[in-house]
Amino acid sequence: KKSQPDLAKAYQTLCEAVESLERSGGKVTNSSLKSKMLALNPSFKESNLGFTKFNKFLLRAQEDKIIILKSLSKAGNYIVEKR
């Protein structure tokens, strides 16, 4: 069962990762974002937060108004922007 502090910490890592990728000047995609989040926090695992997929974590973050997701393709790829 996920606890709110863990989710808050994950959101903090998420925001740092988005900012870092934006600074390096490219579109932030869900796959580059996950790699960056793992670089910032090697213990990050969406499954520990109760999400079966990284995209489900991103959708929840969007619901919680942390990020904005723009669909890239039907395959579930997104461009991610900080809100």
Whether 2 shows a pLDDT value over 60: the answer reads no
pLDDT digits (tens, 9 = 90+) for 20-78: 999 998 889 999 999 999 999 999 999 999 999 999 999 999 999 999 999 887 777 89
Q: What are the DSSP calls for 38-54, one per residue?
A: HHH-TT--GGGGT-SSH
Q: What global pTM score does this model have?
A: 0.89
What pLDDT is attached to residue 27? Answer: 87
H or E, element range at 67: strand 67-71
